[in-house]
């Protein structure tokens, strides 16, 4: 039924790629197409209701909105009808022919790289819902009349790279989507069978607020999950609603459902996912994405103002009673109710994490692996006001395998340990071998391992815990030594004053200082940093991004008890090239031991070969 207005247009390349993926790779859950189409129909009703508030001239009665399923077993068609907002010609083109968000492009790349079969949960995270129809249909026809417009349109495609768009007459407001179903195959479900459709609506869309009718029956119970009393909702219903919200295929790790009364009234249903969505770290400006409803009307599906960005992995719904329906972004930002809700929700989520940590360590470790580094952003941003995030952090440590909290580390501290010690580095293996760590372990002190890039920033903010200072083992540390150790250090400094002086002369600008130190265990020397100077790990990151070498704020610490130091002292007295070579070797091995590169590897290896020859 092509009319004169008919126009055949190509899909954006990415759309066709996505369609091919859906058709060929993702048939393990074809039935989710219905959930996606019903969710779009419900969104369309939400949008109409919202628009009707601000445009009374539309003159629509929004109390009777609904969704209808029409199945024809003979013709093998399934039609999903809504009387929501509809789409104009331009909207049909841009909504159904292009991929709007850059996120979807990334998703495409991700799917290609990781193999879509293994990551079906990725589909849907970026609003590719409509295209799911092509998993079950070989032709899809969308007829739509936009609220407030006279002319309707028909969009159709066979997923062959193109779609057709034309004028259509006699449509009612809203959208009719007709799927020409593929053959179900041997064990496939028949999506025209009433019992199949009933089952799918019940399973995936029961809480949709608008009636979903088939014939004279309403298939869904309609009451939104969050508005029902907790005792009425089963685990499965909670999980299904989570999957609907998040497009996740897995059950949530935790569900938080409560009603707040008093000066600010609202209901919140929050979920902590079990697995991180792949875009968690990919956004330019990460923000929280809860849905905000006011008196059953969806205001926004991505409300930034309800949780801090470092809880952006939380999914869910907040329905507030005390906001005006036509709230704008500006109002959301400045509204005192919103601020009160945010504060309370933040507390609730942190408290819930704290109780998982307390009651079920294994489950918490699972959470930490997925979202720990996001939580740490809160500390970095200076938003961990009462230390609640610090309580929730897990660390590896010199104690051995397994993770520890700060509180547990403090509890284990032996009498007299002046600080909580930390070390930053690339991984456990490197840190286990670090001379810095050895010096503390030898005293029976535990060192916490900070191995994530964000830790460098976090540790600048996290300077104390339960009144104990946090201190990096890289920093030159005076407090560590007993009086007798201090005496031994100054005795060595006096005895080998010439060595220190010659070394300082030799290294010049390369080092800030050479000194004897009491904190070395077995190593002859190591590199500390002046208090406040960059730690080596971060220093290196800085050098990589800004060019230039290591910063000069390093201190070469010598072990007064090491025989090599005494030998070097003799060479210093003699002077000559032997001394310079040995000094460079000592410095080079100190760099290697902490996982830093040596500045002139060719010279360093030549020095080693020479040494081996002499030996």
- Interface with Mg ion (CB under 5 A): 40, 129
* Position among 79, 95, 164, 451 found at the interface with ligand ADP (CB under 6 A): 95
Shortest-Cβ-distance residue relative to ligand ADP: 127
Nearest to 21 by CA among 156, 123, 137: 123
Residue range at the interface with ligand ADP (CB under 6 A); choices 51-59, 77-85, 377-385, 470-478: 77-85
Closest among 569, 535, 538, 541 to 555, alpha carbons compared = 535
Pick the closer one to ligand ADP by CB: 130 or 258: 130
CB of 97 to ligand ADP, least distance (A): 10
Among 18, 71, 87, 350, binds ligand ADP (CB under 6 A): 87
CA distances (Å), origin 146, targets 91, 96, 120, 219: 9, 15, 33, 26
- For residue 397, what are the CA distances in angstroms to 195, 428, 436, 437, 477? 57, 8, 13, 10, 20
Partner interacting with residue 205 (select from Mg ion, ligand ADP, none; CB below 5-8 Å by kind): none
Q: Does 148 bind ligand ADP (CB under 6 A)?
A: no
Q: How far apart are CA 581 and CA 577, in angstroms?
A: 6
Residue 130 touches ligand ADP, criterion: CB under 6 A: yes
We find the least distance from the C-beta atom of residue 13 to ligand ADP, in angstroms, to be: 17
Buried b (16+ CB within 10 A) or exposed e, 247-270: bbbebbbbbbbeebeeebebbbbb
95 binds, options Mg ion, ligand ADP, none, Cβ within 5 to 8 A by partner type: ligand ADP
Q: Which two tokens stand for residue 452?
A: 């994530």
Residues of span 418-477 touching ligand ADP by CB under 6 A: none
Q: Give, in degrees to the nearest 5, the angle at Cα 403 between 400 and 404.
A: 100
84 binds ligand ADP (CB under 6 A): yes
Instruction: Specify burial of residue 225 (Cβ count, 10 A radius: 0-12, 13-18, 19+).
Output: buried
The single residue among 15, 18, 38, 44 that binds ligand ADP, judged by CB under 6 A, is 44
| Binding residues for ligand ADP, total number by CB under 6 A | 17
Q: Would you give the DSSP letter of residue 40?
A: H
Q: According to CB under 6 A, which one of 19, 78, 85, 290 is a site residue for ligand ADP?
A: 85
Q: Is 36 in the site for ligand ADP (CB under 6 A)?
A: yes
Give least dist CB 258 to ligand ADP, A.
28
Helix runs in 73-167, H state only: 89-97, 102-114
162-168 β-sheet, strand order: 7-10, 162-168, 152-157, 137-145, 174-181, 77-82, 67-72, 212-214, 217-218
Choices 85-93, 254-262, 336-344, 351-359 (CB under 6 A): range interacting with ligand ADP: 85-93
What the block records as the tokens of 25 is 């790779």
Residue, CB closest to Mg ion: 129
Residue 87, binding choice from Mg ion, ligand ADP, none, Cβ under 5 to 8 Å by partner class: ligand ADP
**Whole-Å CA distances, 188 to 137, 184, 338:** 13, 5, 47
156 sits near ligand ADP (criterion: CB under 6 A)? no
Residue placing its CB nearer to Mg ion in the complex, 204 or 440? 204
Contact residues for ligand ADP, defined by CB under 6 A: 36, 40-41, 43-44, 82, 84-87, 95-96, 127-130, 175
């Amino acid at each position: 039924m092509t009319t004169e207005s008919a126009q055949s247009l190509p899909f954006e390349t990415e759309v066709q790629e996505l369609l091919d993926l859906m058709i060929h790779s993702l048939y393990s859950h074809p039935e989710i197409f219905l959930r996606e189409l019903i969710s779009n129909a419900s969104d369309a009703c939400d949008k109409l209701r919202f628009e009707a508030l601000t445009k009374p001239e539309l003159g629509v009665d929004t109390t009777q909105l609904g969704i209808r399923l029409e199945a024809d077993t003979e013709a093998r068609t399934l039609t999903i009808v809504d009387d929501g907002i509809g789409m104009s010609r331009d909207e049909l083109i841009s909504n159904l022919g292009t991929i709007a968000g850059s996120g979807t492009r990334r998703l495409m790349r991700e799917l290609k790289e990781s193999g879509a079969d293994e990551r079906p949960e990725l589909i849907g995270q970026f609003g590719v819902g409509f295209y799911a129809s092509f998993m079950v249909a070989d032709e899809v026809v969308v007829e739509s009349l936009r609220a407030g417009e006279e002319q309707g349109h028909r969009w159709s495609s066979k997923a062959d790279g193109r779609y057709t768009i034309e004028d259509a007459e006699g449509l009612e407001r809203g959208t009719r989507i007709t799927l020409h179903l593929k053959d179900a195959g041997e064990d496939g479900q028949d999506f025209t069978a009433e019992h199949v459709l009933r089952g799918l609506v019940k399973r995936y869309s029961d809480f949709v607020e608008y009636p979903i009718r088939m014939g004279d029956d309403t298939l869904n119970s309609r009451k939104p999950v969050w508005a029902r009393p907790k005792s009425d909702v089963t685990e499965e219903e909670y999980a299904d609603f989570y999957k609907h919200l998040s497009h996740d295929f897995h059950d949530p790790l935790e569900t938080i459902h409560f009603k707040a009364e008093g000066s600010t009234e609202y209901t919140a249903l929050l979920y902590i996912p079990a697995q991180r969505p792949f875009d968690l770290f990919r956004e330019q400006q990460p923000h929280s994405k809860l849905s905000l409803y006011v008196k059953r009307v969806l205001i926004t599906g991505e409300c930034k103002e309800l949780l801090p960005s470092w809880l952006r992995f939380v999914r869910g719904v907040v329905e507030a009673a005390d906001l005006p329906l036509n709230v704008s972004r500006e109002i959301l930002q400045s509204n005192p109710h919103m601020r009160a809700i945010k504060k309370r929700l933040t507390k609730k989520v942190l408290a819930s994490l704290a109780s998982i940590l307390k009651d079920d360590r294994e489950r918490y470790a699972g959470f930490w692996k997925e979202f720990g580094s996001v939580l740490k952003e809160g500390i970095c941003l200076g938003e961990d006001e009462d230390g609640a995030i610090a309580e929730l952090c897990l660390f590896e440590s010199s104690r051995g395998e397994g993770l520890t909290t700060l509180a547990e580390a403090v509890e284990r501290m032996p009498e007299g340990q002046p600080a909580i010690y930390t070390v930053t580095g690339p991984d456990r293996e490197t840190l286990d071998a670090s001379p810095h760590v050895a010096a503390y372990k030898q005293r029976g002190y535990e060192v916490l391992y900070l191995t994530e890039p964000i830790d460098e920033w976090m540790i600048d903010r996290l300077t104390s815990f339960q009144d104990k200072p946090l201190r990096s083992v890289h920093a030159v540390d005076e407090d560590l030594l007993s009086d007798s150790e201090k005496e031994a250090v100054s005795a060595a400094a006096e005895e080998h004053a010439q060595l220190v002086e010659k070394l300082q002369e030799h290294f010049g600008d390369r080092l800030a200082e050479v000194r004897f130190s009491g904190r070395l265990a077995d190593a002859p020397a190591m590199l500390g940093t002046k208090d406040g100077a960059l730690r080596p790990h971060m220093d290196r990151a800085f050098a990589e991004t800004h060019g230039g070498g290591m910063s000069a704020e390093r201190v070469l610490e010598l072990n007064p008890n090491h025989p090599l130091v005494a030998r070097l002292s003799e060479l210093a007295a003699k002077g000559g090239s032997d001394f310079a070579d040995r000094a460079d070797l000592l410095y080079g091995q100190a760099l290697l031991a902490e996982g830093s590169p040596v500045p002139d590897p060719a010279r360093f290896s030549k020095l080693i070969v020479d040494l081996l020859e002499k030996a």
